């Protein structure tokens, strides 16, 4: 990576090692980052977004199991970029912060873009980078209006209630500063905000409907801090709230020397109990630009009204948030979002990848003339659709075969699936290699990898796996 | 009255001419608050003018205390106003009673504008009323639109006891939470947030005392007898699931609106009027329908002069001054940012700053008055000095060269307190400071001091925000961070005086509590109320509490060595609930240890038992090992305490470190 003396301003890290624990029924069959969305692996979308915004090199963190596949991903799907694939070891389930620590030594740029491998967005990156640069932010995060309504989206599988996953995101609308963040699960009865915070941000908008895109721009010194403080395991759960909170602390190092410099009698003590469990304060990692500080001091510009304190009230650390209110921004981190994405992707493709030809029917696929295939359908490479079939709103993967008199409605069908004569499948998700025998009726089901159907079987709202026990384990 | 004939569109305005509190103490003994002069006009005129300028001619004035005076006053000007109905009810004890009474009388049958007599506003209420009506078609439960003025947190018109947190639905401006800002946190119940995409938390709003109400409001008061104040009402309507009525917010941005809720805002609003923020309600304009002639001339630097004002040679009205008619200002006297009533006599070489002086006041030569309010017909002898935040009632007299300390409240006659039989006994001697000057006793204070809100409003001036902001910054240090301690240390040096008063109060409370065995909870309450009153930071509280606890054993004479230690242990044990309440996080614990160190430095007999004391604190789990070590590591931040103390503690530190080593060994 560090071949030449040129250091780009931004480096990008895609965290794609997630296990997809919110929809294990699907992800147990295939790694989350490789799940197909519109016949492209999920990971393709964030990479494509980065390429669209001018990145030529990306660090990708994936699980050990799919390292080799991801290595070839760029080439296979026509991305002109160099992937530096870092594998997480197979056993443990590391948090996002742990994954970031893993790539810390590969970071040489002053700023790092960290995004989740399941993010599909047509974001114009400059909205975020402009905000970040303008305010010399420590962290800039992306949020988006939640367009998914769990009640109206039909999903396959047994009915389940969506979990409490609402975030409370407090943004000062005047400046876009991110002042408050917490999640519904962490709060008991009250949304509680400190008086001192409201003194500085007397008009704070707390949004309850935003989705955290898990898209961040960090100053690299934040990663230095993260690398040292091993107690932080999750970016969203711990690092971001920590930074948000620290915005309102004064920098202790500005006025006085660090206490441990002066403690001579404790230095001899090898035990060092005094600071053993006290990781260094984040401010000691902070890199400041003295010229920028000076110009801020001399400028009459200020980000607030109501008092005569300097810009930012002389707080050194700041966190900002950009809220996308138009365009696409969705994370495929649960079944609702995953299904909805597959349904909508053909409409969004133009915005997501303007230069890519829309693939309705793959050139190497064959659809017999008397088959009815809706325009919004996608048929993958090497697939075969027979006469007298009806396909609507469905996606067919690679090397699938659909026999005569089959009806597919709102289906996601992965690779190497064979649907035999007379089947009617609606609203279902069928994983790799399944053979659906004659005259089956399947409605709103998730069909696992090697499930064996009975001829003429009828199923509705079920999760069909090869072995129920194995699923319980997971 | 003529309600049957009333056109639907007649606009009704209701003025509640009483604030149902005693914050104006000495001034309102003989005069109702709404007739006190604000820039030399009765306060009530501003509310009347506000309604009138919006075309609201059907006005109801509801009076409680001094109703006859208000009635007489209105009778004088009534001819020029449209319909004005005066309702008196001397029985009423609260705002809620007033609305209930109006409901019982059946006077409020349509949407009406509710305005407090102490509001000053040049807001056009008609668009707000229209918006209110329109909203009714969208939400038939919409029953009130509260009018708030936008004002940044440091706005001078804001006072601590009147500050509010408001949470609204960002899309509709519906108020979903309303909370007096006397706590350190805004807590919005999560259940209220259901289905709201954007919750707007507002801390930049100031009450104006104006609300547009629908006819559903009065019956609500009638149904809920516990609604006493507007705050009760808001809390009840917002939080009670059974009440479906909704409340909306209107923000005033461009116009002026404020309320004279306490003495501090009395001064601030007076200045605002003189600075013409409330235009056209300024002294040189005729309030249409209320006045016939122009009384004041407006000169540059915002100086307003009434008729026949005489300013002798060298006398100077610097800026933002109003002087009532026939007042004489003596040679070389200067007046700045002040309001002076009619027929006053100001002597030579008098300085008057930031003050409000009512009519017929005589101030003799060489007086100095700063930031005070002086009631009518008072007389100050030559050379009297009156400091900030003093309030003099009517007819108070001071002899020559008297100096009145800041914050005094003075009345001209001893108050008949009602319960004390021995009139003129020792009690009054203590209060008497001149032949016609007695300290004012506010009997409200004693009645209900268990209520936290009451405690805060104890200071009738209203707390100025300036005092609070210092400690405000450091309240973020509740996070268990070292930095909190450092910030607190800076503050200690800054407002020493206030802190020392607080210190004394805490010591007094705890000492008495220890002797009389008062419950810990009550003592905590007492300390908290003092804390609010003096606006000290959490770390200062820790310091005060700890130093009091350490000082109490020393009150007994001739204790030393083991006996002293025993006594210390007994005291710490007795106060352990209090200590554990305040000495919570590591910053507080470190503060506690510094306090002990300081105490030992001042009282050498403690030095011998210091280590044992720390050990005892450690054993009773008030302080942790971490805190001790951290504190020990920070020694040089207070070099003056000397190394001797640290040497005494060294064995304990060694022991702690050793035992930690042992722990480590065990775990391996």
For the segment A312-339, what is each residue's pLDDT rounded down to a tens digit?
888 889 999 999 988 889 898 888 889 8
Residue B202 touches chain A, beta carbons under 8 Å: yes
Closest residue in chain B to residue A210, using alpha carbons only: B197
Q: Do A195 and B200 count as a contact with CB atoms less than 8 A apart?
A: no
Q: Give the one of A184, A193, A274 whose C-beta lies nearest to B633's C-beta.
A: A274
Q: Which of B386, B160, B356, B342 is nearest to B268 (CA)?
A: B356
Kindly state whether residue A273 falls inside one of the protein's structural domains: no
Question: Does an H or E element contain B50, and which?
Answer: helix B43-53
For residue B469, the chain A residues in CB contact (below 8 A) are 199
Cis peptide bond upstream of B280, omega within 30 = yes
Structure confidence at residue A448 as a pLDDT band (50, 70, 90): confident
Task: Judge whether residue B606 has pLDDT over 60.
Answer: yes
Closest residue in chain B to residue A246, using alpha carbons only: B476
Task: Judge whether residue B192 has pLDDT over 90.
Answer: no
Q: Please state, in angstroms and rounded to a whole number, the distance separating the CA atoms of residues B668 and B666.
A: 5
Q: Is the pTM of this model over 0.95?
A: no
Task: Give the per-residue pLDDT at B445.
Answer: 44
CB atoms within 10 A of CB A84: 15
For residue A192, the chain B residues in CB contact (below 8 A) are 185-188
- Proportion of chain A above pLDDT 90, given as a percent: 42
Structure confidence at residue B389 as a pLDDT band (50, 70, 90): confident
Q: Do B201 and A170 count as a contact with CB atoms less than 8 A apart?
A: yes
Question: Does an H or E element contain B44, and which?
Answer: helix B43-53
Q: How many residues does chain A have?
A: 474
Task: Give the per-residue pLDDT at A59.
Answer: 95
The residue that leads in pLDDT, A355 or B386, is B386
The residue that leads in pLDDT, B529 or A301, is A301
Q: Please state, in angstroms and rounded to a whole number, the distance separating the CA atoms of residues B319 and B299.
A: 10
Indicate the number of domains in chain A.
2
Task: Judge whether residue B471 has pLDDT over 60.
Answer: no
Torsions phi, psi for A214 (to 5 deg): 55, 45
Q: Mean pLDDT: which of A354-368, A458-472, B26-40 is highest?
A: B26-40
Residue B170 touches chain A, beta carbons under 8 Å: yes
**What's the per-residue H, E or C state across B138-199?**
HCCCEEEEEEEEECCCCCCCCEHHHCEEEEEECCCCEEEEEEECCCCEEEEEHHHHCCCCEE
> What is the mean pLDDT of the segment spanning B404-417?
82
For residue A186, the chain B residues in CB contact (below 8 A) are none
Q: Which of A212, A10, A9, A220 is nearest to A100 (CA)?
A: A220
Task: Give the per-residue pLDDT at A287.
Answer: 85
Task: Judge whether residue B35 has pLDDT over 90.
Answer: yes
Query: Starting from the edge strand earliest in sequence, which strands make up the sheet with A458-460, in order?
Result: A372-373, A390-392, A407-409, A424-426, A441-443, A458-460
3-state helix, strand, coil in chain A (%, to 5): 30, 25, 45
- Proportion of chain B above pLDDT 90, given as a percent: 39
Q: Please state, in angstroms and rounded to a whole number, the distance separating the CA atoms of residues B524 and B447.
A: 19
Q: Do A195 and B193 count as a contact with CB atoms less than 8 A apart?
A: no
Q: How far is B619 from chain A (nearest CA, A)?
A: 19
Task: Give the per-residue pLDDT at B108.
Answer: 86
Q: Do B199 and A208 count as a contact with CB atoms less than 8 A apart?
A: yes
Task: Judge whether residue A35 has pLDDT over 50.
Answer: yes
For residue B624, the chain A residues in CB contact (below 8 A) are none
For residue A269, the chain B residues in CB contact (below 8 A) are 657
For the segment A389-399, what is each residue's pLDDT rounded down to a tens digit?
999 989 999 99
| Helical packing angle, B496-516 and B538-551, nearest 10° | 50
Domain that holds residue A396: 360-473
Task: Judge whether residue B69 has pLDDT over 60.
Answer: yes
Q: Which CATH class is domain B464-667?
A: mainly alpha
Give domain limits for chain B.
10-148+204-267, 292-414+432-439, 464-667
Task: Give the per-residue pLDDT at B251.
Answer: 94
- Whether residues A325 and A452 share a domain: the answer is no
- Whether residues A384 and A402 share a domain: the answer is yes
Kindly state whether residue A444 falls inside one of the protein's structural domains: yes
Task: Judge whether residue B478 has pLDDT over 70.
Answer: no
- Which region among A331-345, B29-43, B359-373 has the lowest average model confidence (pLDDT)? A331-345
For the segment B428-444, what is each residue's pLDDT rounded down to a tens digit?
566 788 888 888 876 54
For residue B200, the chain A residues in CB contact (below 8 A) are 203-206
Residue B555 touches chain A, beta carbons under 8 Å: no
Q: Which of B384, B366, B387, B389 is nearest to B434 (CA)?
A: B384
Q: What residues 570-629 of chain B have any CB closer than 8 A to a CB of chain A?
A: 626, 629
Residue B654 touches chain A, beta carbons under 8 Å: no
Q: Please state, in angstroms and rounded to a whole number, the distance separating the CA atoms of residues B142 and B216.
A: 9
Q: Which CATH class is domain B292-414+432-439?
A: mainly beta
> What is the mean pLDDT of the segment spanning A202-226?
93
Task: Judge whether residue A471 has pLDDT over 60.
Answer: no
Residue partners of B120: CB distance under 8 A and separation at least 6: B38, B43, B46, B47, B50, B256, B257, B258, B259, B260, B269, B272, B273, B278, B281
For the segment B313-329, what is each residue's pLDDT rounded down to a tens digit?
999 999 999 999 999 99
- Whether residues A436 and A319 share a domain: the answer is no
> What is the mean pLDDT of the segment spanning B47-73?
90
CB atoms within 10 A of CB B373: 26
Task: Give the per-residue pLDDT at A4.
Answer: 57
Task: Judge whether residue A3 has pLDDT over 60.
Answer: no
The residue that leads in pLDDT, A439 or B645, is A439
Question: How far is CA B636 from its chain centroid?
Answer: 40
| CATH number of A421's domain | 2.160.10.10
- Whether residues A161 and A240 share a domain: the answer is yes
List the single best residue of A195, A205, A256, A306 to mutate versus B (max B Cβ within 10 A).
A195
Task: Judge whether residue B260 has pLDDT over 90.
Answer: yes
Q: Give the one of B196, B469, B657 whose C-beta lies nearest to A269's C-beta.
A: B657
**What's the per-residue H, E or C state across A379-425?**
ECCCCEECCCCEEECCEECCCCEECCCCEEECCEECCCCEECCCCEE
Q: Do A207 and B198 count as a contact with CB atoms less than 8 A apart?
A: yes
The residue that leads in pLDDT, A119 or B6, is A119
Q: How far is A199 from chain B (nearest CA, A)?
A: 6
Q: Give the one of A192, A245, A269 whose C-beta lies nearest to B187's C-beta.
A: A192
The residue that leads in pLDDT, A296 or B650, is A296
Kindly state whether residue A400 falls inside one of the protein's structural domains: yes
- Whether residues A49 and A177 share a domain: the answer is yes
Q: How far is B338 from chain A (nearest CA, A)?
A: 25
For residue B181, the chain A residues in CB contact (below 8 A) are 195
Residue B518 touches chain A, beta carbons under 8 Å: no
- Proportion of chain A above pLDDT 70, given as a percent: 89
Task: Judge whether residue B468 has pLDDT over 50.
Answer: no
For the segment B278-315, what is each residue's pLDDT rounded down to a tens digit?
999 999 998 877 788 889 999 999 999 999 999 999 99
Whether domain B10-148+204-267 has CATH 3.40.50.1480: the reply is: no
Buried b (16+ CB within 10 A) or exposed e, A18-36: bebebbebbbbbbbbbbbb
Domain-terminating residue out of A350, A378, A407 = A350
Size of interface A-B (CB pairs under 8 A): 127
- Whether residues A429 and A458 share a domain: the answer is yes
Task: Give the per-residue pLDDT at A110.
Answer: 93
Residue B665 touches chain A, beta carbons under 8 Å: no
Hey, which residues does B395 pair with through a beta bridge?
none
Q: Give the one of A195, A255, A305 whose C-beta lies nearest to B475's C-beta.
A: A195
Task: Judge whether residue B54 has pLDDT over 80.
Answer: yes
For residue B186, the chain A residues in CB contact (below 8 A) are 192-195, 198
Task: Give the per-residue pLDDT at B38.
Answer: 95
Please state, in angstroms and as integers, the Cα–Cα distance from residue A125 to each residue in A86, A324, A426, B221, B608, following that order.
24, 11, 38, 55, 67
Residue B476 touches chain A, beta carbons under 8 Å: yes
Q: Do A250 and B634 count as a contact with CB atoms less than 8 A apart?
A: no
Q: Which of B181, B155, B150, B156 is nearest to A198 (CA)?
A: B181
Q: Please state, in angstroms and rounded to a whole number, the distance separating the CA atoms of residues B574 and B584.
A: 17
Q: Please state, in angstroms and rounded to a whole number, the distance separating the CA atoms of residues A60 and A14.
A: 5
- Whether residues A72 and A139 share a domain: the answer is yes
Please check whether residue A415 is in contact with residue A449, taking contact to mean a CB–CB distance below 8 angstroms. no
Q: Do A249 and B203 count as a contact with CB atoms less than 8 A apart?
A: no
Pairing, β A119-121 against β A57-63? unpaired
Q: Give the one of A203, A266, A277 whose C-beta lies nearest to B202's C-beta.
A: A203
Structure confidence at residue A413 as a pLDDT band (50, 70, 90): very high
Task: Give the per-residue pLDDT at B579.
Answer: 81
> What is the mean pLDDT of the segment spanning B2-14?
63
Average pLDDT, chain A: 85
Task: Judge whether residue B455 has pLDDT over 60.
Answer: no
CB atoms within 10 A of CB A291: 8
Kindly state whether residue A298 falls inside one of the protein's structural domains: no
The ipTM value here is 0.85
- Whether residues A158 and A134 share a domain: the answer is yes
Structure confidence at residue B413 as a pLDDT band (50, 70, 90): confident
Q: Do B661 and A204 count as a contact with CB atoms less than 8 A apart?
A: no
- Whether residues A339 and A399 share a domain: the answer is no
Q: What residues 435-474 of chain B have any CB closer than 8 A to a CB of chain A?
A: 469, 472-473
For the segment B102-127, what is each residue's pLDDT rounded down to a tens digit?
999 988 888 999 999 999 999 999 99
> What is the mean pLDDT of the segment spanning A6-28?
87
Average pLDDT, chain B: 81
For the segment A112-156, what is each residue's pLDDT rounded down to a tens digit?
999 999 999 999 999 999 999 999 999 999 999 887 777 777 778
Question: For the CA atoms of B284, B286, B287, B293, what is the dihedral angle to 10 degrees?
Answer: 120
Q: Which of A93, A92, A138, A99 is nearest to A115 (CA)?
A: A99
Please check whether residue A100 is in contact with residue A2, taking contact to mean a CB–CB distance below 8 angstroms. no
Q: Do A199 and B199 count as a contact with CB atoms less than 8 A apart?
A: no
> What is the mean pLDDT of the segment spanning A461-468?
73
Task: Give the per-residue pLDDT at B466.
Answer: 55
Q: How far is B651 from chain A (nearest CA, A)?
A: 14
Q: Please state, in angstroms and rounded to a whole number, the distance separating the CA atoms of residues B48 and B337.
A: 26
Task: Judge whether residue A218 has pLDDT over 80.
Answer: yes
Q: How far is B203 from chain A (nearest CA, A)?
A: 4
Torsions phi, psi for B506 (to 5 deg): -65, -45
Task: Give the per-residue pLDDT at B508.
Answer: 82
> What is the mean pLDDT of the segment spanning B245-262?
93
Task: Judge whether residue B496 has pLDDT over 80.
Answer: no
Q: How far is A269 from chain B (nearest CA, A)?
A: 9
- Whether residues A172 and A321 share a domain: the answer is yes
The residue that leads in pLDDT, B243 or A215, is A215
Task: Give the per-residue pLDDT at A164.
Answer: 65
The residue that leads in pLDDT, A17 or B320, is B320
Structure confidence at residue B636 as a pLDDT band (50, 70, 90): low
Domain-terminating residue out of A304, A323, A350 = A350
User: Nearest-5° angle of CA A118, CA A119, CA A121?
Assistant: 155
Q: Please state, in angstroms and rounded to a whole number, the distance separating the CA atoms of residues B26 and B387.
A: 17
Q: Please state, in angstroms and rounded to a whole number, the distance separating the CA atoms of residues A245 and A181.
A: 9
Q: Do A252 and B203 count as a contact with CB atoms less than 8 A apart?
A: no
Structure confidence at residue A272 as a pLDDT band (50, 70, 90): very low
> What is the mean pLDDT of the segment spanning B156-177?
89
Kindly state whether residue A288 falls inside one of the protein's structural domains: no
Q: Please state, in angstroms and rounded to a whole number, the distance separating the CA atoms of residues B378 and B389.
A: 17
Please check whether residue A77 is in contact with residue A40, taking contact to mean a CB–CB distance below 8 angstroms. yes
Structure confidence at residue B633 as a pLDDT band (50, 70, 90): confident
Q: Please state, in angstroms and rounded to a whole number, the distance separating the CA atoms of residues B551 and B540.
A: 16
- Whether residues A323 and A452 share a domain: the answer is no
Question: How far is CA B266 from its chain centroid?
Answer: 12
For the segment B551-565, what is each residue's pLDDT rounded down to a tens digit?
887 777 666 777 888
Q: Give the one of A188, A196, A208 whose C-beta lies nearest to B196's C-beta.
A: A208
- Whether residues A139 and A211 share a domain: the answer is yes
Q: Please state, in angstroms and rounded to a whole number, the distance separating the CA atoms of residues A194 and A180.
A: 10
Domain-terminating residue out of A292, A323, A350 = A350
What are the residues of chain A with a beta carbon less than 8 Å away from any beta carbon of chain B?
A: 170, 184, 187-196, 198-199, 202-209, 245, 248-250, 252, 255-256, 259-260, 262-263, 266, 269, 271, 273-274, 277, 305-307
| CATH number of A65's domain | 3.90.550.10
């Amino acid at each position: 990576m560090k071949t030449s003396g040129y250091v780009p301003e931004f480096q990008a890290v895609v965290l794609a090692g997630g296990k997809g624990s919110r929809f294990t029924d699907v992800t147990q069959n295939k790694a989350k980052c490789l799940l197909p969305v519109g016949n492209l692996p999920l990971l393709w979308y964030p990479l494509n977004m980065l390429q669209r915004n001018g990145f030529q090199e990306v660090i990708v963190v994936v699980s050990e199991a799919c390292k080799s596949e991801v290595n070839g991903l760029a080439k296979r799907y026509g991305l002109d970029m160099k992937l530096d694939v870092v594998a997480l070891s197979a056993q443990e389930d590391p948090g996002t912060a742990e994954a970031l620590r893993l790539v810390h030594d590969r970071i040489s740029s002053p700023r790092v873009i960290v995004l989740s491998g399941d993010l599909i967005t047509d974001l114009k990156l400059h909205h975020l980078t402009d905000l970040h640069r303008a305010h010399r932010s420590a962290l800039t995060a992306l949020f988006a209006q939640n367009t998914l309504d769990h009640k109206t989206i039909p999903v396959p599988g047994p009915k389940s209630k969506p979990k409490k996953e609402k975030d409370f995101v407090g943004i000062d609308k005047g400046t876009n500063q991110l002042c408050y963040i917490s999640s519904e699960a962490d709060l008991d009865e009250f949304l509680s905000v400190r008086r001192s915070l409201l003194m500085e941000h007397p008009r704070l908008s707390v949004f309850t409907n935003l989705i955290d895109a898990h898209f961040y721009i960090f100053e690299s010194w934040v990663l230095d801090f993260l690398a040292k403080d091993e107690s932080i395991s999750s970016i969203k759960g711990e690092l971001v709230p920590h930074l948000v909170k620290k915005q309102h602390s004064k920098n202790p190092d500005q006025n006085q020397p660090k206490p441990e410099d002066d403690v001579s009698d404790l230095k001899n003590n090898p035990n060092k109990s005094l600071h053993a469990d006290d990781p260094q304060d984040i401010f000691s990692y902070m890199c400041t630009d003295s010229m920028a500080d000076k110009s801020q001091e001399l400028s009459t510009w200020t980000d607030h009204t109501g008092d005569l304190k300097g810009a930012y009230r002389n707080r050194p650390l700041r966190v900002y948030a950009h809220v996308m209110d138009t365009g696409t921004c969705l994370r495929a981190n649960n079944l609702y979002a995953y299904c909805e994405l597959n349904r909508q992707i053909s409409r969004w493709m133009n915005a997501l990848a303007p230069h890519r030809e829309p693939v309705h029917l793959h050139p190497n696929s064959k659809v017999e003339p008397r088959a009815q295939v809706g325009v919004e359908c996608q048929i993958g490479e090497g697939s075969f659709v027979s006469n007298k079939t009806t396909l609507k709103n469905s996606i067919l993967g690679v090397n699938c075969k659909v026999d005569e008199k089959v009806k597919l409605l709102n289906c996601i069908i992965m690779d190497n699936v064979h649907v035999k004569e007379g089947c009617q499948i609606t609203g279902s998700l069928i994983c790799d290699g399944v053979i659906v025998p004659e005259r089956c009726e399947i409605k709103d089901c998730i069909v696992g990898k090697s499930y064996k159907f009975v001829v003429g079987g009828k199923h509705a709202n079920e999760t069909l796996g090869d072995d129920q026990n194995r699923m319980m384990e997971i | 009255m003529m309600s049957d004939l009333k056109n639907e569109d007649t606009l009704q305005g209701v003025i509640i001419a009483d604030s149902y509190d005693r914050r104006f103490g000495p001034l309102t003994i003989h005069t109702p608050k709404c007739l006190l002069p604000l820039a030399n006009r009765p306060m009530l005129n501003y509310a009347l003018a506000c309604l009138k300028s919006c075309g609201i001619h059907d006005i109801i004035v509801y009076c409680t205390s001094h109703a006859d005076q208000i009635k007489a006053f209105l009778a004088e000007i009534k001819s020029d106003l449209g319909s004005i109905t005066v309702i008196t009810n001397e029985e009423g004890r609260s705002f809620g009673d007033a609305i209930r009474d109006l409901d019982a009388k059946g006077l409020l049958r349509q949407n009406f504008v509710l305005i407090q007599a102490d509001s000053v506003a040049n807001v056009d209420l008609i668009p707000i009323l229209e918006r209110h009506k329109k909203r009714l078609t969208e939400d038939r439960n919409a029953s009130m639109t509260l009018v708030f003025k936008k004002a940044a947190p440091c706005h001078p018109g804001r006072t601590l006891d009147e500050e509010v947190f408001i949470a609204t639905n960002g899309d509709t401006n519906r108020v979903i939470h309303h909370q007096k800002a006397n706590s350190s946190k805004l807590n919005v119940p999560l259940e209220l947030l259901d289905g709201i995409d954007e919750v707007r938390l507002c801390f930049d709003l100031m009450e104006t005392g104006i609300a547009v109400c629908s006819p559903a409001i009065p019956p609500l008061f009638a149904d809920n007898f516990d609604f006493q104040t507007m705050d009760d009402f808001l809390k009840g309507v917002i939080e009670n699931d059974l009440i479906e009525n909704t409340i909306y917010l209107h923000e005033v941005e461009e116009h002026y609106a404020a309320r004279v809720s306490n003495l501090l805002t009395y001064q601030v609003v007076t200045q605002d009027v003189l600075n013409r923020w409330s235009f056209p309600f300024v002294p040189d304009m005729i309030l249409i329908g209320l006045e016939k002639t122009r009384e004041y001339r407006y000169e540059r630097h915002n100086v307003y002069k009434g008729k026949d004002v005489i300013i002798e040679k060298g006398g100077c009205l610097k800026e933002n001054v109003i002087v009532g008619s026939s007042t004489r200002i003596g040679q070389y006297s200067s007046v700045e940012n002040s309001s002076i009533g009619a027929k006053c006599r100001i002597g030579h070489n008098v300085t008057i700053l930031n003050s409000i002086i009512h009519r017929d006041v005589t101030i003799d030569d060489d007086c100095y008055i700063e930031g005070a309010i002086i009631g009518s017909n008072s007389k100050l002898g030559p050379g009297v000095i009156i400091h900030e935040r003093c309030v003099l009632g009517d007819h108070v007299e001071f002899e020559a060269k008297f100096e009145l300390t800041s914050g005094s409240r003075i009345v001209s006659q001893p108050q008949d307190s009602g319960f004390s039989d021995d009139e003129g006994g020792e009690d009054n001697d203590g209060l008497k400071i001149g032949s016609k000057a007695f300290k004012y006793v506010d009997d409200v204070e004693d009645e209900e001091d268990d209520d936290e809100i009451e405690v805060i409003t104890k200071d009738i001036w209203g707390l100025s925000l300036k005092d609070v902001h210092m400690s405000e910054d450091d309240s973020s240090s509740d996070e268990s961070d070292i930095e909190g301690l450092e910030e607190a240390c800076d503050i200690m040096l800054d407002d020493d005086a206030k802190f020392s008063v607080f210190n004394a109060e805490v010591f007094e409370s705890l000492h008495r509590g220890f002797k009389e065995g008062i419950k810990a909870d009550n003592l905590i309450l007492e300390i908290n109320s003092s804390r609010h009153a003096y606006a000290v930071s959490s770390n200062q509280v820790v310091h005060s509490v700890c130093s009091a606890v350490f000082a109490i054993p020393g009150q007994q004479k001739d204790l030393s060595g083991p006996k002293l230690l025993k006594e210390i242990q007994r005291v710490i044990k007795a106060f352990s609930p209090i200590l554990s309440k305040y000495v919570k996080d590591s910053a507080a614990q470190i503060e506690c240890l510094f306090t002990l160190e300081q105490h030992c430095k001042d009282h050498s007999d403690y030095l011998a038992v210091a280590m044992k004391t720390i050990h005892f604190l450690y054993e009773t789990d008030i302080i942790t090992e971490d805190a001790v070590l951290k504190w020990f590591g920070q020694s040089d931040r207070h070099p003056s305490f000397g190394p001797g103390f640290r040497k005494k503690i060294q064995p304990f530190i060694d022991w702690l470190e050793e035992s930690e080593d042992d722990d480590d060994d065990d775990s391996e």
